[in-house]
């Protein structure tokens, strides 16, 4: 099946929702698609908690605006995996291939957590920080579970607050950035609502120890997690826990942008003032252009949606605000830059690629990503290097030579094309 739209927006997080609304309000026919069952992206997924804050108010406002607009076709559970031709995206929805023809496309594919391998990180009970939050939103019970939240980034406090409200006993929040960095960051946001937001999360986690300059070095357990050893560089101590929520800030999802030929700089998609990439008719907004939080994603999404719809003046009017918010992205990058000590978290027998069970001893013998892939299958499993590739980018400064389709595992039938009749249950995983 091929469907045609003026504008296709990939990713229904805040950036994608803002882009779709802005473009549709200019009279364009818009498709908004996302691989999740409902719009909202990472931050607005699932039901709202009882706690009413700026995030939940923004969620209500934007979802209402989205639902009110008949010019937007929302395609849920729909994942783009290939770019079969000019102005064409291939997606899979409910096991069926859907081709989407567009005049303009807005990439709002968000970010994922960065996981760094350390001994025990593959034990059941060790989750990503945002990953555990997403599981709880989807129904995983955590009442009375002892949880340590560790890693880096503003997400840690948000996750700790959420887990406490859902009944977990959060024993500690451990941020690898130093107090000095955090205090400087606090001073830089002193006159903004962000300080109140951070203070709000800290209030909601009051009573839970917050350790700066502290990171996990090992997770222990038999069949499941039993404790985690933490370090502050001079001392190590072990905390009993049932769950470890651990993520080292975020990395952008840029695979689709790369497939479309967009230029990346320092891992982020290059865009001009109107969020247009260096490829004609391809716009990008939100985390793939820089990790800057909810407000920046919304602001970039609006500029991209308006520009894609041809409303250039309206888009330009929003640029100054977007640029002010971008300054915050720069502060985040400096504050939560990962410390040198994290390079030595992996031990010889620590698994780095968990899809293919490749250890640090094995992978670190190679000089680059391609050789390691060819010799060890590292990065060739179901996640296609999304986890180990980002870790190895930090640990060894490796990056992939190229991105090839399919960027997600899909059925053979979807891969073969709209007319294929191959058995749908076979899974095709890229092997190059």
Q: Which residues contact ligand FAD by CB under 6 A?
A: 10-16, 33-36, 41-43, 79-80, 108-113, 130-131, 133-134, 155, 158, 250, 253, 256, 286-287, 293-294, 297
Give the residue with the Cβ less far from ligand FAD, 217 or 325.
325
Give the residue with the Cβ less far from ligand FAD, 28 or 112.
112
Distance CA 182, CA 188 (A): 10
Nearest-CA neighbor of 92 among 380, 411, 381, 421? 411
Instruction: Give the other-Cβ count within 10 Å of 374's Cβ.
Output: 12
DSSP state of 276: B
Nearest-CA neighbor of 382 among 351, 357, 417? 357
Give the residue with the Cβ less far from ligand FAD, 162 or 366.
162
Give the residue with the Cβ less far from ligand FAD, 134 or 422.
134
Q: How far is the CB of 226 from ligand FAD (least distance, A)?
A: 25
Give the residue with the Cβ less far from ligand FAD, 79 or 373.
79
Q: How far is the CB of 31 from ligand FAD (least distance, A)?
A: 11
Distance CA 164, CA 142 (A): 9
Give the residue with the Cβ less far from ligand FAD, 250 or 358.
250
Q: What is the DSSP string of 39-67?
A: S-TTTT-SPPPS---HHHHHHHHHHHHHH
Give yes or no for a contact between 214 and 230, defined as CB atoms under 8 angstroms apart: yes
Q: How far is the CB of 366 from ligand FAD (least distance, A)?
A: 29
Give the residue with the Cβ less far from ligand FAD, 16 or 119.
16
- Strands 210-212, 169-175: pairing is parallel
Give the residue with the Cβ less far from ligand FAD, 203 or 237.
203
Place of tokens 């209500």: 60
Q: How far is the CB of 325 from ligand FAD (least distance, A)?
A: 11
CA atoms 336, 337, 339, 344: torsion sign? positive
If residue 106 lies in a helix (H) or strand (E), which one and from where to where?
strand 96-107
Q: How far is the CB of 427 from ligand FAD (least distance, A)?
A: 17
What are the φ/ψ torsions at residue 290 (nearest 5 degrees)? 155, 140
Distance CA 430, CA 381 (A): 8
Q: How far is the CB of 347 from ligand FAD (least distance, A)?
A: 27
Give the residue with the Cβ less far from ligand FAD, 125 or 128.
128
Q: How far is the CB of 52 from ligand FAD (least distance, A)?
A: 15
Q: How far is the CB of 113 from ligand FAD (least distance, A)?
A: 5
- Burial class (CB within 10 angstroms; exposed 0-12, middle 13-18, buried 19+) of 245: buried
Q: Which residues contact 412 (CB under 8 A, 6 or more apart)?
A: 420, 422, 423, 424, 426, 427, 428
Q: How far is the CB of 164 from ligand FAD (least distance, A)?
A: 13
């Amino acid at each position: 099946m091929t469907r045609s739209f003026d504008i296709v927006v990939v990713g229904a997080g805040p950036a994608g929702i803002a882009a779709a609304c802005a473009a549709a309000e200019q009279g364009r026919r818009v498709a908004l698609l996302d691989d999740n069952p409902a719009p909202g992206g990472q931050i607005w997924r699932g039901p709202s908690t009882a706690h009413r804050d700026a995030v939940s108010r923004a969620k209500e406002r934007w979802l209402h605006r989205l639902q009110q607009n008949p010019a937007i076709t929302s395609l849920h559970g729909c994942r783009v995996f290939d770019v079969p031709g000019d102005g064409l995206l291939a997606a899979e929805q409910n096991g069926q291939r859907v081709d989407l023809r567009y005049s303009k496309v807005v990439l709002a594919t968000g970010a994922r957590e960065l996981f760094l391998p350390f001994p025990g990180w593959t034990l059941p009970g060790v989750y990503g920080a945002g990953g555990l939050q997403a599981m709880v939103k989807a129904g995983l019970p955590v009442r009375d579970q002892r949880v340590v939240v560790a890693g880096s980034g503003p997400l840690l406090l948000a996750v700790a607050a959420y887990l406490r409200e859902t009944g977990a006993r959060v024993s500690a929040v451990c941020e690898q950035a130093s107090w000095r960095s955090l205090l400087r960051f606090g001073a830089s946001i002193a006159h903004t609502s962000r300080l109140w937001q951070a203070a709000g999360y800290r209030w909601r986690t009051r009573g839970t120890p917050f350790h700066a300059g502290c990171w996990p070095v090992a997770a222990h357990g038999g069949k499941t997690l039993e404790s985690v050893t933490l370090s502050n560089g001079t001392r190590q101590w072990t905390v009993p826990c049932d769950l470890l929520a651990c993520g080292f800030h975020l990395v952008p999802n840029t695979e689709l942008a790369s497939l479309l030929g967009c230029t990346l700089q320092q891992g982020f998609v290059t865009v001009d003032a109107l969020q247009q990439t260096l490829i004609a008719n391809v716009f990008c907004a939100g985390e793939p252009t820089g990790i800057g939080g909810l407000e920046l994603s919304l602001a970039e999404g609006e500029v991209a949606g308006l520009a894609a719809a041809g409303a250039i003046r309206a888009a330009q009017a929003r640029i100054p605000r977007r640029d002010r918010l971008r300054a915050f992205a720069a502060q985040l990058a400096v504050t939560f830059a990962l410390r040198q000590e994290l390079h030595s978290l992996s031990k010889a027998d620590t698994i780095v690629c968990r899809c293919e069970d490749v250890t640090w001893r094995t992978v670190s013998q190679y000089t680059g990503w391609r050789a390691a892939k060819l010799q060890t299958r590292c990065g060739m499993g179901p996640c296609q290097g999304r986890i180990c590739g980002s870790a190895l980018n930090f640990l060894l400064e490796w990056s992939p030579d190229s991105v090839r389709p399919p960027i997600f595992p899909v059925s053979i039938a979807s891969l073969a094309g709209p007319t294929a009749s191959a058995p749908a249950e076979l899974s095709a995983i890229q092997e190059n």
